[in-house]
Amino acid sequence: MYYYGLKLHLLGFRRIDKLPHPKQILFSPASVNDVTVFKDAWLGIENRTFWGDKIYFVNDLNQQMLEH
């Protein structure tokens, strides 16, 4: 499969019954893995709950998140 273009990544604050309030918006090439973007940009953020799809279920990533 080939990807062209870019992807938008959003880190937002949850608001009940509303769209999340954006804290940070990133763009990456479409060929870059989402886990790589997450590790580079947001892995070190503490006291947050991250929601994502099954691509983020990576054993080394889960261990790093538990440590933080």
Q: Output the pLDDT for position 3.
A: 62
pLDDT digit string (tens) for 1-49?
666 799 999 999 889 999 989 999 999 998 888 888 888 998 888 888 7
**pTM for the structure as a whole:** 0.68
- Contacts of residue 29, defined as CB under 8 A and 6 or more positions apart, other chains included, come to 6, 7
- Average pLDDT (58-66) is 72
Q: How confident is the model at residue 68 (pLDDT cuts 50, 70, 90)?
A: low
**What is the full DSSP assignment across 3-68?**
--SEEEEEEEE--TTSPPEEEEEEEEETTS-HHHHHHHHTTT--S------GGG--HHHHHHHHH-
How far apart are the C-alpha atoms of 68 and 18, rounded to whole Å? 28
